[in-house]
Amino acid sequence: MSRSARLLALMQTLRRRRRAATAEELAGELGISTRTLYRDIATLVGEGAPIEGAAGLGYVLRPGFFLPPLMLGEEEVDALLLGLKLVGQRGDAALCRAAEDALAKIIAVLPPERENATDSGLMVPSEQPDGTAHMAVLRQAIRREQRLHLRYTDLKGQESTRIVWPVAIGFFAAVEVMIAWCETREDFRHFRLDRIAMAAPSEGRYPRRRRVLLAEWRAQLGIGS
């Protein structure tokens, strides 16, 4: 591995971590010696990378630092562009605009040989699913950990009203599904977005943190974290 590739790999390793990592942990993951790791850290700090920490204490990359898309490999660029195209088709209006803006920013800083990256041959369906009507409200409720008042029609055509604690939205091939704790059923339930007739914020935040609820849902289904 070249030195420049090693430095980039170190930055990527730091970005993936939420807590400080020791030199031994970082060196082990990168397959280098701690001496080389210390040298690379010093090089990156000298070039302006916001790495905080010290030998014996661990290192962490300060939040808010982003590597420019210019430094991404071809496969990484393709992955990003494909993902943003999918968001543009499956998201609500705000997500679609954000995807378009992000796509424009990435394309603007790509090297000349990748200027036709959008014509890579990776295509997504042009139709938009029916479940996006309430997605913005659901996403906001998930972000704020806010209770939701739903009017929902089940597979048998029966309509009900529920107060739920939204946990996550799952995107599947044909539908989007909201995972939520239902106060009526006192258990987790899955709600197809295209069957939600009404979604409105209810009073107050739900009593347990979303990450706790998500962990409980995963445990109930036997899904690893």
pTM score:
0.62
- Whether residues 186 and 215 fall in one domain: yes
167 within domain boundaries? yes
124 within domain boundaries? no
106 within domain boundaries? yes
The count of C-alpha atoms lying within 13 angstroms of the C-alpha of 204, restricted to the half-sphere facing its C-beta, is 5
- Whether residues 136 and 215 fall in one domain: yes
- Taking CA atoms, 171 is separated from 107, 142, 174, in Å, by 26, 15, 8
In whole angstroms, give the CA distance from residue 32 to residue 186: 51
pLDDT tens-place values along the chain, 225 residues long: 678 778 888 888 888 887 889 999 999 999 999 999 999 999 988 888 888 887 778 999 887 665 554 566 677 778 888 888 888 878 888 888 888 888 777 776 666 655 555 566 776 766 665 667 889 999 999 999 999 999 999 989 999 999 999 999 998 877 889 999 999 999 999 999 999 999 999 988 999 999 999 999 999 988 765
